[in-house]
Structure 1
Amino acid sequence: MIVRPIPRALLALLVLCSTGCGSEDADALVVVGLTTDMAVGFEIDRVERTTRVDGVVTRAESLSYGGGELSLPSELALEPARDGAEVELTVEAFRGGEGSPFVTRRAATRAVSGRALFLPVSLDAACSAISCAAGATCAAGACVDPFIEPSTLADHDPTWIASASDACKTPSSGDPAVVIGQGESAFAPLEHGDVVPIEPGPQGGHHVWLALRVTGLRQMGSRLTVGGYFPELAFELRPFTSVVTLRRAGDAGCEIYGIRFQVDRGLPVASVRGRALDVEAVLEDPDGDVGTAAQRIVIAP
Structure 2
Amino acid sequence: MPIVVRLLSLFVPLLLLLVSGCSGGEPRRGHLVVGVTSDLRVGVDVLRLHVIRKVNGAVVRDEELFSDGASPFQIPLEIGFSDLEDGDDVDVEIEAFGGTSLPLVVRTAGSTIRAGRTLLLRVDLAAACAGSMAPSCEAPQTCTGGVCGASYVNPAMLEDYNAGWSKGKADICKPNDGPPTLLVGKGQADYLPTSDYDLAQIEAGPQGGHHIWIALRMKNLRQSGSITTLTGHVDELDLDINPFTVIFTFDPDEGGFCKLYGLRFQIDGGTDIEQLLGKTLLVKASVKDKDGDVGTAERWVKLSSDIL
TM-score (norm 1): 0.48
What's the TM-score once normalised by structure 2's chain length? Answer: 0.47
Q: Kindly indicate whether structure 1 or structure 2 has the higher relative contact order, using CA contacts under 8 Å at least 6 residues apart.
A: 1
Q: Which has the higher helix share?
A: 2
